[in-house]
């Protein structure tokens, strides 16, 4: 009996132990499942957090892109405003000149009209006297011929006076008509100027509002972009000043301007051994505010050449705060805008610009004559390159920025290239 009881106790203990183990296992499994759930929740939280971070970064990036677009818009408005102001100044000068010219012609017209009136009055006062009576009173053939010549001169003089008065009358009428057209055009230009100034003010306000949303790093980049834009405007003014001097020199020397004929431009490609296939984006402009094309495929170490004979009018480096790196990631200096760049005048109304070249690679100086195909530098990434070069991606910014300008204004360079 005792033996049976002992066995039962052992069995009971075994069952309890198994139950305890099962309970423990279930607990452990539950704990494991709870931990797994917590891990999944944490993973979801982490993933959501990462999504949130990326979304914030994307928003910041979009904000910065929006600011860059506004900057390009502002620059475009400023260019249009400058062009309108130039047009207004030109029209105002034309109006002033026309008013002075009309007054002079009216004075001359009044004077000659008075002369004609006096002549007519004198003829009327002579009564029935005619030129024939004068001729018939001639005492001899010589006297007749002499009087005939004098009368002919009077008649010719009267005829010329009448014709002159009629011509002046028509010129005064045409001058006044043109003056009215110029004044109407001036009013239109001034209205457009007011509208553009209003749009410019609005765009600047929007930009200032967006800048406040940037973080510290983006604000620093924003400063670099604004500095680059300022430097580029300075470069454009320098080019315009040079172009104006060239224009005056050409007028004095009667140089023929054949600009605006891309098909007969006679250019070669500006990077030795390459072609249009080395331009990744062949749209013009490839982005808002871009004034040239970027030759950016397989360009590292390639030589930049003059597309046509000409004279170097600019060869300089625009220093700034944008850090640039070479193809190995080494810091090569701080630049802005075009960085190391050259401008060549081709003596036909066109200029070409070569930007972002390698530091120390410029081989020509201002005033130097260059031949087509002559090496003037090396492709680089100095200045405000797009996309901007960084130590981890130094090759991104390596390209040649190439422009064609007519009367200092950038035009689509692609039709000029072979």
pLDDT digits (tens, 9 = 90+) for 153-168: 555 555 666 666 677 7
CB 405 within 8 A of CB 350: yes
Instruction: Count CA atoms closer than 13 A to 168's CA, side-chain side.
Output: 19
328 DSSP 8-state letter:
T
Contacts for 119 with CB less than 8 Å, ≥ 6 apart: 158, 161
Please state, in angstroms and rounded to a whole number, the distance separating the CA atoms of residues 53 and 45: 12
More confident call, 303 vs 187: 303
Rounded to an integer, the average pLDDT of 340-364 is 94
Q: What is the pTM of this model?
A: 0.58
Q: Which whole-number Å values give the CA distances from 385 to 206, 222, 251, in the listed order? A: 25, 14, 37
CB 159 within 8 A of CB 119: no
Contacts for 155 with CB less than 8 Å, ≥ 6 apart: 131
Question: Superfamily assignment of 218-416 in CATH?
Answer: Glucose Permease (Domain IIA) (2.70.70.10)
Question: Given this model, what pLDDT does residue 256 score?
Answer: 42
More confident call, 227 vs 379: 379
Is the pLDDT at 209 greater than 50? The verdict is yes
Q: Return the percentage of the chain with pLDDT > 90, whole number.
A: 22
Crossing angle of helices 216-253 and 2-125, rounded to 10°: 30
Residues facing 312 on adjacent strands: 344
Instruction: Count CA atoms closer than 13 A to 149's CA, side-chain side.
Output: 5
CA angle 409, 415, 418 (to 5 degrees): 125
302 DSSP 8-state letter:
P
Mean pLDDT of the chain: 74
Is the pLDDT at 278 greater than 60? The verdict is yes
Contacts for 91 with CB less than 8 Å, ≥ 6 apart: 182, 185, 186, 189
Distance of CA 308 to the CA centre of its chain: 23
- Give per-residue pLDDT as tens, 267-277: 999 999 999 99
């Amino acid at each position: 009996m005792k033996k049976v009881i002992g066995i039962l106790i052992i069995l009971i203990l075994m069952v309890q132990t198994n139950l305890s183990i099962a309970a423990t296992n279930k607990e452990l499994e539950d704990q494991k499942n709870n931990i797994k759930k917590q891990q999944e929740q944490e993973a979801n939280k982490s993933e959501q957090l990462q999504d949130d971070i990326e979304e914030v970064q994307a928003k910041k990036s979009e904000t910065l892109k929006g600011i860059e677009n506004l900057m390009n818009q502002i620059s475009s408005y400023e260019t249009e405003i400058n062009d309108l102001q130039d047009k207004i100044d030109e029209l105002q000068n034309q109006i002033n000149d026309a008013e002075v010219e009309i007054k002079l012609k009216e004075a001359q017209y009044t004077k000659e009209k008075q002369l004609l009136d006096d002549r007519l009055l004198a003829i009327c006062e002579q009564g029935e006297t005619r030129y024939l009576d004068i001729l018939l009173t001639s005492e001899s053939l010589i006297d007749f011929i002499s009087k005939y010549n004098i009368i002919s001169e009077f008649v010719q003089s009267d005829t010329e006076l009448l014709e002159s008065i009629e011509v002046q009358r028509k010129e005064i009428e045409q001058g006044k008509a043109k003056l009215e057209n110029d004044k109407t055009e001036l009013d239109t230009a001034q209205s457009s100027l007011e509208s553009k100034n209003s749009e410019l003010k609005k765009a600047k306000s929007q930009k200032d509002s967006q800048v406040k949303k940037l973080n510290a790093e983006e604000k620093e980049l924003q400063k670099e972009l604004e500095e680059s834009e300022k430097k580029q405007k300075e470069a454009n003014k320098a080019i315009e000043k040079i172009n104006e001097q060239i224009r005056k020199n050409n007028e004095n020397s009667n140089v023929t301007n054949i600009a605006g004929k891309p098909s007969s431009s006679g250019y070669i490609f500006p990077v030795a051994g390459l072609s249009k296939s080395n331009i990744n984006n062949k749209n013009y402009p490839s982005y808002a505010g871009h004034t040239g094309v970027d030759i950016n495929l397989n360009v590292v170490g390639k030589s930049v050449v003059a597309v046509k004979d000409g004279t170097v009018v600019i060869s300089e480096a625009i220093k700034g705060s944008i850090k640039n790196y070479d193809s190995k990631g080494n810091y090569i200096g701080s630049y802005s805008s075009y960085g190391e760049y050259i401008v060549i005048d081709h003596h036909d109304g066109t200029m070409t610009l070569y930007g972002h070249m390698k530091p120390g690679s410029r081989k020509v100086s201002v005033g130097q004559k260059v031949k087509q195909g002559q090496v003037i530098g090396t492709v680089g990434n100095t200045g405000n390159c797009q996309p901007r070069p960084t130590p981890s991606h130094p090759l991104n910014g390596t390209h040649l920025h190439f422009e064609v300008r007519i009367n200092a204004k950038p035009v689509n360079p692609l039709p000029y290239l072979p």
